[in-house]
Each structure stands twice: as C-alpha cells, then as structure tokens.
Structure 1
C-alpha cells in the first residue's frame, strides 16, 4: 500500500542515508544538504512521536519499551543535529566530526527501530490501520516541513524541551 506507515518510514530512512552520503562529499553544497536533512529529520521524528508511536503502543505485539526508547533516540539525534548545525564551517574537521556523530546516532536509531518497532508493526498492525497511520504521518510531516521545523531555532527548542530524555 502506498500509505503503509512502515513503508513510508523506511523510505525516509533510506533518504537519510542518501543525504548522509551526499553530506560526506566535500564538493557538494553541504549547507543546502544539511538544511534538507534537518527539516526531514525533525519532521519525521515529530510525526512519528505524535501520530505513529502512540498508536503502535496499543498493539500488544509492539514493545512499548522500544517505542519509548525510540523517542529518547530522537532526542539524542536532535542534540547531534544541533551540534552539527552550530559548527558553521562545513569544511572544518569539527564539522566532519559532528557529522559522523550524527550519522552514528541516527544509524543506531534507524537500525533499532527497523528491527523492533517496524518489524513488530509490519506483522501486528492491520493493513487498513497502517494506511491510516501512514496518511496521518505524511500529513503531520508535511505540516512540520511547512512550518520550517528544521530551522536552527526550532532544533534548539526541541533540544531544550527534551534534555531530560538523554540524561
């Protein structure tokens, strides 16, 4: 199904991987790519946390602890994203280091989410419900993108609001 929430989330995960590959190339417009990554990453996380995660917790075969842990990892990802955004000089060694920290944090989250939450959802959630969740996910993700959710100011607000999650 085109609106299957699992497939939509997986498609975003593959896009993150493509953006990371492009960000590692010093010949690319890293500022533009980082802006695209920041917007998609924040919109994706906010849509998952508001629309997908709460719904999945209602299914007995989806591990509630993994869903909570996924939200904690979003907070860690936002911290790593902010650290990268605040470096400024995209040709510096510091920028390279912060990029790798973000890649590592996000790859860890994506791997865990795909092996636990999404596999459980794929098997446990009826097709019609996955389509409903997918439509909600896409709607909220687009609303967040339209609201410039990837701005450094918004990412700062997210980090401040979720500092308790990553203590």
Structure 2
C-alpha cells in the first residue's frame, strides 16, 4: 500500500472521477454513490487541511498562496456537495444541475492542486517526509470516515464553518 502522501491524494482524486462517472449514470444507485463520495470528499479535504497543507506551507518552494487557495476550494466543494445532498430526487433536473456544479468545482480544484501543490511537494519534499505525511493523512482520513463525515448533518456543519473562506 502506498504511503507517499502525493500518491494517496492522487488515488483519491482518481476515485472522485470514478464516482462522478457513476453518478452521471441515471441507472446507478445514486444515493449510495453520493454517500460514498460525500464521505471520501470530506475526509480527504479535512485530512489535507489538518496535516498536509500546514506541513507543505513550511517549505519555501511550495507556494503558500496555492495552499491557501486549495483550502478555499475545499470550502467551495463543501458548499456544492451540500447543495447536491439537499436535493431529494436523484432523477430530477435540479439534481443533475447540482451534480454538474460539484463536478466542475472538484475538477477545477483537482487540476490546480495536481499542477501546483502536488508537483511542488513531489519535487521539494523528501521521500521520508512525504511518507510521514502520508501516514498522517491516512490516519486523519480514516478517523473522519469512522466519524461518518459524509452524513448530511456533518456536511451541513462543515459547509457552515467554511463559508467565510469563500471569496
């Protein structure tokens, strides 16, 4: 199993893409898929913000503004996730529209994070430190998953708590 934080984050990004493809399929069990996406998305963001982002900001070669911007984009993603979760009818046009808003927000964030923060981390942070950050990321991520962080009430709380980050 990979322990490099960059590889772990990239693996989650690929899983988000798989879940988005499945969520776009009108024949899929959208409620179950959305629950998985919500839990993974929230756990991933909270693990990045609690351990990975603060550590990366200590490296002068990693762009602090990009790290801060990544946290802002997490807040936008939480808002878009909440908006989708609050639509009851997964077959409705409103649900489809909210899904596309979430997909757009997440794809934008993933693209920027991979091109900036993660490339910088891969080039500037030692293998040992990336492995250490990977273990911390995995532990926090699993703690959040165990806390049922994809639950609607939890997502409402974090969306409200992060509203001030959105410009």
TM over 0.5: yes
Aligned residue runs from structure 1 range 60-75, under 5 A = 60-75=60-75
Aligned equivalents of 1:98, 1:159: Cα separation in 2 = 15
Aligned residue runs from structure 1 range 47-62, under 5 A = 47-62=47-62
User: RMSD between aligned alpha carbons?
Assistant: 0.8
Report the TM-score, using the length of structure 1 for normalisation: 0.99
**Which runs of structure 1 show a deviation greater than 6 angstroms over 4 or more consecutive aligned residues?**
none
Deviations 1:112-165 (A, max 9, x none): 000000000000000000000000000000000000001111111111111111
Deviations 1:86-119 (A, max 9, x none): 0010000000000000000000000000000000
The residue aligned with 1:119 is 119
The residue aligned with 2:105 is 105
Deviations 1:46-98 (A, max 9, x none): 00000100000011110000000000000000000000000010000000000
Answering whether residue 141 of structure 2 is matched by residue 136 of structure 1, we say no
Unmatched tracts of structure 1, length 5 or more = none
Answering whether residue 18 of structure 2 is matched by residue 18 of structure 1, we say yes
Structure 1 position 2, deviation (Å):
1.8
Aligned equivalents of 1:71, 1:2: Cα separation in 2 = 24
